[in-house]
Amino acid sequence: MNRLQERVLTHLEQIYTYLAPTQRQVLAEQLLEEMQLNDQDINTGRQPGQWNESDIYLITYADSILPADTHPSGPGSENNNVSLQSLHSFMNTHLQESISAVHILPFYPWSSDDGFAVTDYSQVDPRFGNWGHVESIAKDYQLMADLVINHCSSSHSWFQNFIDGKSPGKDYFVTASPEEDLSAVIRPRTSDLLRETDTVNGKQFVWCTFGHDQVDLNFANPEVLVAMVRIVRQYLDHGVRIFRLDAVAFVWKETGSNCLNLPQTHEIVRLLRTLVEQAASDALLITETNIPKRENLSYFGNANEAHSIYNFSLPPLLIHALITGHSRHLKNWLMSMPPAQMGTFYFNFIASHDGIGLRPAEGLLSDDELERMLTVMDKAGGEISWRASDHLTQRPYEINISLWDAMSRHADHEQEGADQWQHQRYLCAHTILLALEGIPAFYIHSLLATGNDYDRLKASGHKRHINRHRWNAQALQDGLDNPSSRHARILHDLKRLIAIRRKQPAFHPNATQFTLHLGDAIFAFWRQSLDRQQSIFALNNISDQVQHVPLSEINLIDTDDWVDLITGRALDMKPADLVLAPYQSIWLSNLRP
């Protein structure tokens, strides 16, 4: 037995305590065979940390940009059979110098939830393209794909086999009795947890964390783990190098617990990391755990679980700061965030295909502050999604709104429509995103300043569709060709900021970061490169009023020549104050690479 086998066995001993040692040995051999690692020892030459300041991620659906001859109406756009090709063309035309990686949301056949109810993990949905299109994108960009690990579609062949009592599938799903006390289970939805299903073995009550078309897989059955690892190997073979573990916090169930973040769940993540990084030295795991901060941080483990975690508290806190003009909560949160260990990084985002998650703001924003934020987002045209709490009461789960519309107004103003600062407020949000410790990720509709899609919301009735617009490629290009359109102006401005960021060693994802205290209206922090040669003071006026910042409070080394990287202007040390216009950002650097 080599060291890799021993390590895999160590993981399996923690997960499957009820298996005999010989059964765990057979399981370890199966997993290594599926990953094509059965004769390989541990790869000790791997260097942790394959990322730097030039890394920028794009988040997009496979059909966010439809071919020019396709109309983006209806839930399926049936004629859309080359949208992956349209997406690739858009990236190469507009983003080749701006992004290093792309997260293409589920591109597999699916039955609901825009891809997250997978009917066949091994295929590309023909409405989007084929594996050749996926591989072509993977040659030009690091490719991130979803491993929808907690559940599959009720239309998946596994679930049909479950109903018919056949393999594979008959033991693949979690079942429970409606007589059991499941009130402690934490869920992001308000639907019934158990789905009554007629099978050849009589009525079964199947566990559905997210909805009745998304049935939870039973990882207590080792065959499910083997099947999922087989899928991981296939994705690697098609060029995927970054795995987003969707809803991974829910994968292990124990009656009587809240079924969230259980020890076996963490061990499964550690096992997957062992297998993935041995199969491909440049492969990464990112956990999608939309939960409060402390629980989210636990998925770093001791730098032996996820390579990266989503910074879920950032979107609600940053948006709250920008619409209220005070950064107290954002600043307190930033001070409480530990630096990511080398070999790990924060995945920073402020908009995505989902809404603005509110669970990560629990304990950070008061109920009154949250209610005020919901009121502002409602006025901006947003919708609210709800979840069931411990006592079966409903609490707000997320705000469904485009980031462009979320940035349209100040909480204290009663005017109808967007105020005069929407563009500046929007850029300020992304300037902060680009400067924070970690790797920034841009939702495609944030790069394009796409507004609320009320037509798609009305057509589908799904609240999240308000921020899942499908662009016709020609209509989008027409908009970008018009330099006065907001889409062209925002994309131009963001690409310029990205280009600056990608050259700064102090913006390395693991570079030092300290929070500065310059008043509630100024959100500021200091970054220092790993070699300590470059310092950047990132100052952001998050209010709609001019702000004066005394130079004496920034502690600039007066023997250095300081320059604002954003404007290119050298800093004049003679005035006592820096003056920041509403929503202006400054990146003061002692180096201009």
Residues known to be catalytic: 246
Please give the distance of CA 423 from its chain centroid, rounded to a whole number: 24
CA dist., res. 229 & res. 305, Å (int): 16
**Cβ-Cβ contacts under 8 Å for 509 (sequence gap 6 or more):** 51, 52, 53, 55, 340, 345, 346, 437, 438, 439
Q: For residue 51, give both structure tokens.
A: 């990322």
User: DSSP string covering 54-117, please?
Assistant: T--EEEE-TTSEE-TT----TTT-TT---HHHHHHHHIIIIITTT-SEEEE---S-BSSGGGTS
DSSP strands (E only) in 230-362: 240-246, 284-287, 308-310, 345-348, 356-357
The one-character DSSP state at 370 is H
Report yes or no: 60 and 444 within 8 Å, Cβ to Cβ. Answer: yes
CA dist., res. 162 & res. 311, Å (int): 37
Report yes or no: 406 and 319 within 8 Å, Cβ to Cβ. Answer: yes
SS (H, E, C) 332-369: HHHHHCCCCCCCCEEEECCCCCCCEECHHHECCECHHH
**Cβ-Cβ contacts under 8 Å for 320 (sequence gap 6 or more):** 329, 330, 361, 365, 369, 373
Report yes or no: 259 and 252 within 8 Å, Cβ to Cβ. Answer: yes
Please work out, in degrees rounded to the nearest 5, the angle formed at the alpha carbon of residue 406 by the alpha carbons of 400 and 408. 150
| Phi (first) and psi of residue 479, to 5 degrees | -65, -40
Q: For residue 327, give both structure tokens.
A: 């950064």
Report yes or no: 300 and 345 within 8 Å, Cβ to Cβ. Answer: no
